[in-house]
Chain A
Amino acid sequence: MNSLAQPILLEYLALGAALFAIGLVGFLARRNLILIFLSTELMFQGIIINLIAFSCYYQNTAGQSFVIFVLSIAAAEAALALGLVVLLFRRRRTLNVDAWSDLRG
């Protein structure tokens, strides 16, 4: 009980920030379309930790309600983004982002 019931807000916020930062690294550095979107899911995980930690801190459930919305946005984003990835892969037969750099105009 002792070790289970004493979460400290600061530690969870730091962990959420670290997960977000690592996801940001992946988002900026990877060149695979799928992994770019997987990195955004990593950033979502950091945000979820933040929201739940604040929900626990203020002892209400608003944070958990927000997490439900975050999850539904994440699911919608995953479905649409992966549909687009499949479409793009069919056009160029590669997942390399640089293959589409001519979209820059």
Chain B
Amino acid sequence: MDRVRRPAAGGTVRGILGTGATMNNWLLAATAVGAISLYLMLPHGRRRMSQFGALLGVLALGGGFVELGLWLSHGPLAAAVAPAGIFFYVFAAIALASAVGVVCHPRPIYCALYFVLVTLSVAALLILLLAEFMAVVLIVIYAGAILVTYVFVIMLASPGGGIPAADYDRVSADPLLAVLVSFVFLGMILQRLFGGPMDGFMLARAPLASGHAAAAGSFAGLAALGANLYAHYALPLELAGILLTISLVGAVMISRKHEPVVRILGAADVPAE
């Protein structure tokens, strides 16, 4: 498999990174470096710092991935699992980097475009997880519908081209507090995932896909999804439809201009402005 492996230092690497506890510390260190880099990259109005932050972020991401791959191939789980292939790491890196772009870019329209990139790479990851239908649905709904709404609203409610980004976009609110809260949260989750007892729950069942693998290439997975949806979640599905309709009506009611009803009804008679 394609991942970083250094045969010369194999023994030492195994010694340093092999056990679960140290692995945990290394991953937490990568998380902390990522937190610092995100703090530096959040809009401050200072360009040099965000470049330095981006460098740190690349280091943290690469270090975290190398660490994860090494741990999975040499750690206590090495006998039971194989690390995900190169595709996982590539798409995860794209997803995380463009997520940082969404959060940090001072221009909202670029944030929306970065979010499209996140959606596309998440869809690729869903394909790796053998959920092809959900991947397509994600692209159609997120990149196709929701993001178009966002872009329209950004277009409607932005100062316009040529003008430098607004003040509130160039300076973020509470970068230190936000980064602290989020990354302590992330550190807690990673601690639980990688530092907890390695019971059967956290072990990957060897090739996860085997149940679906026979059905790959046909629509059997989609048929199973439909059967599950309508056998167990028929009422929630209907409620979701009703919710969508209500929110559509509500959105129209909220955002329309409050003009006299007569004028709206008689719009055909009034010449267009």
Chain A residues close to B by CB (< 8 Å): 2-15, 17-32, 34-35, 37-39, 41-42, 45, 48-49, 52-53, 55-57, 59-62, 64-65, 67-69, 71-80, 82-87, 89-90, 94-98
Give the size range of B's interface with the partner.
35 or more
27 residue pairs from A and B, CB less than 8 Å apart: A3-B2, A3-B85, A5-B213, A6-B84, A7-B129, A11-B68, A11-B72, A11-B83, A14-B194, A21-B182, A22-B182, A28-B178, A28-B181, A37-B150, A48-B122, A48-B126, A68-B240, A69-B236, A69-B240, A71-B138, A76-B246, A83-B254, A86-B157, A86-B254, A86-B255, A94-B166, A95-B158
Would A61 and B228 count as touching, CB distance under 8 A? yes
Q: Which of B118, B149, B224 contacts A82 (CB 8 A)?
A: B149
Would A85 and B157 count as touching, CB distance under 8 A? yes
Q: Which of A15, A83, A89 contacts B95 (CB 8 A)?
A: A15
Would B209 and A87 count as touching, CB distance under 8 A? no
6 additional contacts (CB under 8 A) given A7-B208, A65-B229: A18-B96, A32-B166, A45-B142, A68-B237, A80-B247, A95-B157
- Identity of the chain A residue whose Cβ is nearest the Cβ of B167 in the assembled complex: A96
Query: Chain B contact residues: over half helix, strand or loop, or mixed?
Result: helix
Would B100 and A48 count as touching, CB distance under 8 A? no
A68 CA to B230 CA in the complex, in Å? 12
Chain B residues close to A by CB (< 8 Å): 1-2, 38, 42, 68, 72, 81-88, 92, 95-96, 99-100, 102-103, 108, 111-112, 115, 118-119, 122, 125-126, 128-131, 133-134, 137-138, 141-142, 145-146, 149-150, 153-154, 156-158, 166-169, 171-175, 177-179, 181-183, 185-186, 189-190, 193-194, 202, 204-213, 221, 224-225, 228-229, 232-233, 236-237, 240-241, 243-244, 246-248, 250-252, 254-255, 257
